[in-house]
Amino acid sequence: MTTLALARPTMPVSLTDLAPISLADLSAQAELLTRVDRKYVVPTSVLPLWLERIAAGTRILEIDGRRSFAYRSCYWDTDQLDSFLTSGQGRRRRFKVRGRTYLDTGSTFLEVKTRGPRGTTVKERVLHPDVTGPRLDTVASTYVAHRLRAAAIDRVAPANLTPALVTTYRRATLVTPGGEVPVRATIDADLSWRLPEPAGAETANLAGMAVIETKGASTPSPFDRVLWRLGHRPVRISKYGTGLALLRDDVPDLKWHNVIHRHLTIERGERP
């Protein structure tokens, strides 16, 4: 079995036998900006078993010979943590705002996630330079305001959002036929959280584990059914909500209490 190194330490994933799919084809066939998400936290040792059992025809995103990609996301929130609290409390009008940088290429997208009908997640995004200051610029603030207004979220002033959390990780993306709707799954490894500068230097790192997220229709996908047969069920995990609860003593665990205390193996460290 071939081992693919996603980062140090390596993640033992047998991905080399899967047929590749280009970014253009993936976007055309299964962009899935409106979808039902299911998330799983699994030991990295489970990944080869899962990959061996998923449906024939599964393909993996490949760009310039790479099959895993480094990401950095900066989440923006109000001083009152409206995004964190409404998500953790399961509110209908919840939202996330983040800048996602693809570290292999340097491109950054400004993304807004809201809730659609029947529990779907709606992600809208626009290419935008990485925002490193304490406030969104005028273009970014205007875009966020439009997207939140379209989702009937009018209590948040985007110009007042500030950086709240930074995450880094490596991701591989799979796609497989899923009936009428193609289904995607992502594997995130080497996940690390930190608070933005000038907050404390502590980091929280997910040790020996990966986060699998399936993205498709309301019907469970082949990705999901194989995970269930291997004894893994969806859990409530949010990179933003979980990470903020891990690093800040002044916020509650909310709906992430179970995953934090029962499913995650966390290593604490200091950022370089």
184 in helix, strand or coil?
strand
Q: Could you tell me how far CA 171 lies from the centroid of its own chain?
A: 9
- The residue type found at 187 is I
Check whether 35 has a pLDDT greater than 70: no
> Average pLDDT for residues 130-137, to the nearest whole number?
93
Beta-carbon contacts of 159 under 8 Å, excluding residues fewer than 6 positions away, are 135, 136, 141
The alpha-helical segments, DSSP class H, found in 31-185 are: 47-53, 82-88, 138-150
Q: What is the pTM of this model?
A: 0.88
105 in helix, strand or coil?
coil
Are the beta carbons of 140 and 132 closer than 8 angstroms? Answer: no
User: Among candidates 138, 150, 143, 116, which has minimal Cα distance to 127?
Assistant: 143
Question: How far is it, in rounded angstroms, from Cα 128 to Cα 139?
Answer: 9
Average pLDDT, the chain: 88
Q: Which domains does the chain have, with CATH numbers?
A: 35-270 (2.40.320.10)
pLDDT at position 1, please?
Answer: 32
Higher-confidence residue: 74 or 119?
Answer: 74
The pair of structure tokens assigned to 14 is 């047998």
- The residue type found at 159 is A
* Model confidence pLDDT, tens digit, residues 229-252: 999 999 999 999 999 999 999 999
